[in-house]
Amino acid sequence: MLGGRPTVPKKLSATQQAVLTLHKINARSLFLAVNALLLLVVFYTSRRFPHKFVRVQGDCDSNWLHVDAKEGAETICCNNEAGGYEDAPCYTAMDLMPVLGSLKGAWSIPLSALIVNYGSMMLGPNVSMPRVRVYVRRGLLYVAMMALRTVVLYMGLGLVEKRLVHLLMGHSDQSCWYADLRRGKRCPADFDHSDHIVLLVSHYLAIPLFEWFAVSVESAGRSLKRTLLRGWIIIIGALATYLLFFTASYFHTTMENLVGLVIAQGCVMTPLMLLTQDYFASYKWLRLGNFVLPPDDHKRDN
């Protein structure tokens, strides 16, 4: 089977150990820096843009109202055309969020760098079944993380949160005047953690960060493949950060943003960071060597 049995740890040379240790340090620093920046973004956007908007139905590409809008207030229209994104909460390229949030986008874009990496390996001179198994296991790891986000953090946790909010805060689906303008004819929940932040951080930041680490370890020195893969990962991360900035700015409260960020960091980002450090080495199925090839040892090869 391609998944195969867990890789038996091979003794690395002193050179390989040194290179791998350096990459681990860099990965830990990168993960921590990204998480710190995400916290700063959430606090900044929440302080600068304290107003929350809710989506309503209308004739535009998307239609919005301030959550505390007075009865009869005019909806804000966002259209994908010149001048159509001038008023908050509209922003340029906001139509990309449904693409990244769709089932196809959320399950294919995060895997794209690995797929290209795998394809280039299969077409190269060093293809072997052990190498194939490592790439397949890494793909399965990413799928498991995305399944965790979708089934447990989105569907399961969302249901638990909804029931807790109703139990502790109470809520009337018709308590707002614009309930009839919303899909489902319901008012927004009193508390709704930002599942879009969970999605963006889990799928489009955490997984690409791990792939960045893997590419760095497996591709020694400068190469076209490494440059292209890193460039693509940067594009994915930059796009996710851009969308996260406006999601946190306009569509959720400070606490909703923070809860979403903490969920993503605790359940996806942190485990992947710990995996780069081989923190789970005592569990044979979770050893780093099962998911990332060891760095090349040019002295041994020569």
Positions of the chain with pLDDT under 70: 1-9, 83-84, 169-174, 298-302
Half-sphere exposure of 159 (CA within 13 A, CB side): 5
Edge-to-edge, what's the strand order for the sheet holding 62-66?
Answer: 53-56, 62-66, 76-78
pLDDT at 293: 92
Task: Decide: helix, strand or coil at residue 63.
Answer: strand
- Quick: pLDDT tens for 156-166: 998 888 888 77
Stated length of the chain: 302
Rounded to two decimals, the pTM is: 0.91
Nearest-Å Rg of the Cα atoms of the chain is: 22
**Predicted local distance difference test score (pLDDT) of residue 138:** 97
CA distance 231 to 277: 24
**DSSP secondary structure string for all residues of 225-267:** HHHHHHHHHHHHHHHHHHHHHHHHHHSS-HHHHHHHHHHHIII
CA gap 178, 187 in Å, rounded: 7
Backbone angles phi and psi of 78, in degrees to 5: -115, 120
pLDDT at 4: 60
Q: What is the pLDDT of residue 301?
A: 47
What pLDDT score was predicted for residue 84? Answer: 67
Distance CA 18, CA 26 (A): 12
Q: What is the pLDDT of residue 64?
A: 93
